[in-house]
Amino acid sequence: MRDFQLPGRSVAYGESGMAATSHPAATLAALDVLRAGGNAVDAAIAAVAVQCVVEPQSTGIGGDCFVLLAPAAGGVVALNGSGRAPRAASVARLRELGVDDLDGTVHCITVPGAVDAWCRLVEAHGTKDLDELLRPAIRYAEDGFVVTPRVAVDWHEGTGRLRCSEAGRRQYLPDDRAPVAGARLRFPALAATLRAVARHGRQAFYEGDLAERMVAFLRSQGGLHAVEDFAEARSEFVEPISTGYRGLEIYECPPNGQGIVALLMLNILEGFELGAIDPAGAERMHLQAEASRLAYRDRDAHLADPAMAEVPVAQMLDKGYAARLRALIEPGRALAKLPPPLLAEHSDTVFLTVVDRDRNVVSFINSLFEGFGSGLVCPETGVLFHNRGKSFALDPEHPNAIAPGKRPMHTIIPALALEDGRPAIGFAVMGGHFQPVGQVHVLTNLLDFGMDPQEALDAPRAFAHAGQLEVERGILEATAARLAGMGHEVVPAAKPLGGGQVIVLDHARGVLLGGSDPRKDGLALGY
């Protein structure tokens, strides 16, 4: 029970359905669909489409998505909606063009995979048609929407990137500056594109006039994209991966996503009695930081598109391997230098979760990668392209090296937890590279420290990455000082770390408990 004299928000409760998103308009859209008889998949599609309009810094139809679905009947369905590099793209070709860094170039744009994934998901598991589900998003794009506070902050920070293209400047920077909270915007070109997709499905986006216009724009920027690359784009239903933790089975999408990193971290931390220590103390933050440093080292060495590189999934999920990594962690001192990977070497985002009356659970993440993605906007279609291909390597020997038709290593990772075969938790945490750490932090808050979903999201966070330990302002100075004494290079987090959503299914009482991250503008709402 939280202290009602302190700032905070109560956990949300519901019985017949619930949605948790990072924007009020998206949560409302999902609830409207649920209350009109749609299922969790229908509601998730409606919500994420709205977010592609009202949270343009984080997501869009020019991005990618990953989905986990836990049907009430049992099992887990995983959908990989990440796009591929153009067929003409390769390390050698980019070197010929003088490219030695993908960041900030048109070559960081892979073919957007989100729209195809939406269409496949609705066709396979939805109950309503796309025309109905996209109406709220079309209405916001056509008639206008009000900019919310966190979106306004992110928009301001993305001003420079939006000036990368004339259409970006014109459509996203009215009066040549970022809109402030409370400003009202419209995206008529994007509305027309959404309307075409609503009427004609994936074909409208990946073939014909819209695809030709997008390809022509990308090629005008120096891209290697072709209409055939768009026509061949297909999302894939894949086999999810999982591990056991504290009596639950935790599910993630397999590589090329980094969900395996979260599972590896859980396997490492499983051997520590986390519940016996202070959840906001230095010891907990230290153990989590060391586990993340070891797991991310393996990510950077091995994670790639498994269709084109050997990814040691079984070895990384092996409990014995996690025990070997755990043995490297010293309780009171940070590893000064990480050892080489123990495995053999090979030659901003939105998340939402929805539960319906039948207890189908959807965990859905849709992303442009960094704020406003590439910053490149197709003027005729209003499509803002992501920069997901920035994650490719330009070392031809690296498993994640760019290659024709290849998918890059992906940071976006939805998650689900099942207990005794029944859906138990839909959750994830946005935030680029932070996402596995965010997931582990929130899940251990729930399972090891007994927090409710809102408390688990409210709790302060730390992130060990790139040689430093970023700490949010919510972490006490004494805790930060103790971490520094353990050998961590402690620095203040420049921005809030991530933003998550959680819905817990309490089957015994027949209720749903939801939380939404205060680091974003959204909310959890049930009925």
Which of helix, strand or coil describes residue 450? coil
Choose, from 349, 381, 411, 479, the residue flagged as catalytic.
349
Going from the C-alpha of 157 to that of each of 149, 163, 173, 179, 290, the distances in angstroms are 13, 12, 12, 11, 31
SS3 of residue 235 by DSSP? coil
Tally DSSP H helices, then E strands, for the chain.
20, 19
Rounded distance between C-alpha atoms, residue 462 and residue 457, angstroms: 13
- DSSP bridge partners of 248: 245
Token pair for residue 350? 């939105």
Give the CATH number of domain 261-302+311-345+462-496.
1.10.246.130
pLDDT at 344: 42
pTM, entire model: 0.95
Instruction: Determine the pLDDT at residue 164.
Output: 87
159 is catalytic: no
d(CA 456, CA 451): 6
List helix spans (H) across 248-389.
Answer: 259-269, 282-302, 313-317, 319-326
Written as six digits, the tokens of 447 are 């399972």
User: What's residue 432's pLDDT?
Assistant: 84
Smallest Cα–Cα separation from 505: which of 416, 439, 436? 416
Q: Which among 423, 425, 434, 431 has a CA at the least distance from the CA of 453? A: 425
Give the integer Cα–Cα distance in Å for 385 and 400. 21
Angle 26-380-412 (CA atoms, 0-180°, nearest 5)?
Answer: 40
**Letter for the amino acid at 16?**
S
Q: What is the pLDDT along the chain (527 residues), one digit of tens a residue?
A: 788 998 899 999 999 999 999 999 999 999 999 999 999 999 999 999 999 999 999 999 999 999 999 999 899 999 999 999 999 999 999 999 999 999 999 999 999 999 999 999 999 999 999 999 999 999 999 999 999 999 999 999 999 999 989 999 999 999 999 999 999 999 999 999 999 999 999 999 999 999 999 999 999 999 999 999 999 999 999 999 999 999 999 999 999 999 999 999 999 999 999 999 999 999 999 999 999 999 999 998 889 999 999 999 999 999 999 999 999 999 999 998 876 655 443 336 789 999 999 999 999 999 999 999 999 999 999 999 999 999 999 999 999 999 999 999 998 899 999 999 999 999 999 988 899 999 999 999 999 999 999 999 999 999 998 899 999 999 999 999 999 999 999 999 999 999 999 999 999 999 999 999 999 999 999 99
How are beta strands 490-492 and 468-471 bridged, if at all?
A: parallel
Max Cα distance, the chain (Å): 63
User: How many angstroms separate the Cα of 301 from the Cα of each of 31, 255, 309, 316, 344?
Assistant: 42, 13, 12, 12, 10
**Residue ranges per structural domain of the chain:** 25-64+80-234+370-391, 261-302+311-345+462-496
Q: What is the DSSP letter of 433?
A: G
